[in-house]
Amino acid sequence: MPAHETQIHGHCDPRFTAVREAFEENFRTGGELGAAVAVTVDGTTVVDLWGGWADAAGTRPWERDTLVNVWSTTKGPVALCAHLLADRGLLDLDAPVAVYWPEFAAAGKEKVLVRHLLSHRAGLSGLREPHSLAELYDWELTTARLAATEPWWEPGTRSGYHALTYGFLVGEVVRRISGLRPGAFLEREVTGPLGADFAVGLPAKEAGRVAELVPPAAVAGSERAAIFSQLTPAALAALTNPVVGAAEANTPEWRAAEIPAANGHGTARAVAALYGIFSGRGAHGGRRFLSPEAAERVREGQGSCRDLVLGAGLEAKTEAGLGLWLSGPQGSYGPNPRAFGHDGFGGSCGLADPEASVSLGYVMNRMGPRIADDPRKMALIGALYSAL
């Protein structure tokens, strides 16, 4: 192997050699530093690869059990928590949020439905008052402020990506019903039984396994100003109140906090297993987590529109289901428009395609500049479907 090539570890079924080749190409020409990819078909792992470096200096190899912050790829497992409760008859997705969280009815939100939280249609993409990073780490303060604030737009009419608030909104409903925040609920009900190496709120003892995130290349000041000039107040609130990036996410405080929209830490294998529950129509690893009907409901489209937060950065209209995004005509999760998944800021993703019985998890530490559809992710998805 040439010295400049990254050594890839793990296994890959010969049928999916194209995925391995795309993964290797991401290191050669896609700027990859450290990464892992996993694919399941019919619940069986057919690809489990990793390689590169877990730190910017290139001193720590990416190992089989290296964890990394996957940003909004965390939202899929958090949505799963809500659907588990709904499947058990404990949560009505068509009920007002205030049925479970009475304080939430303030400021004209008495008619906001649980489904609006799951589909980014609650009008609460960000807080109106300044909210610091330290305050974001305070669950009680953040949820209290969300309960008290008024929506940015009429709830239920449009989607506006709830970048950071999503996990607190859905998570507080989970807590009000189960008594557990979503990190503990997910561990008890899913990741523990499944044996998935994934956590929301990382225990300090796992810190040695975490990869260092590397930020995308800096954007010129004039270009950055042009981008921000296009953002609505609702988008600015979502993306800048507070500002978070690689530097913040590399701190012990971020890793230990519970930010269920954005700070899940896991392996690609774990992401593929968690999204495999959706692709397996509620079952994965020999266990059933959701009824087939409940699993199908996750991808119930809530209306295609140009998202009020992501609209400036995405060319096409998008459609959220009840917790994840549909692949749609742009093929964000492969050629099946009804496949679905979630991307994480900078590149990571989880994918579920029940028709093909396929799930994919991709995680990395060198962040790209995009919120969605990173070229490295799209190359892996293209290779996967070429092999099916």
Question: Widest CA span of the chain, in angstroms?
Answer: 63
264-266 sheet: strands from edge to edge: 68-69, 264-266, 198-200
Contacts of 46 (CB under 8 A, 6+ apart): 12, 13, 15, 16, 39, 40
Respond yes or no: is residue 72 known to be catalytic: yes
User: Side-chain half-sphere of 232: how many Cα atoms within 13 Å?
Assistant: 16
- Are 214 and 33 within 8 A, CB to CB? yes
Q: How many CB atoms lie within 10 A of CB 3?
A: 4
- Are 49 and 42 within 8 A, CB to CB? no
- In angstroms, the CA 32 to CA 346 distance is 11
- In angstroms, the CA 85 to CA 99 distance is 15
The active-site residue out of 72, 119, 159, 327 is: 72
- Are 25 and 352 within 8 A, CB to CB? no
Q: Is 317 left (phi over 0), alpha (psi -120 to 50) or beta?
A: beta
Residues marked active site are found at: 72
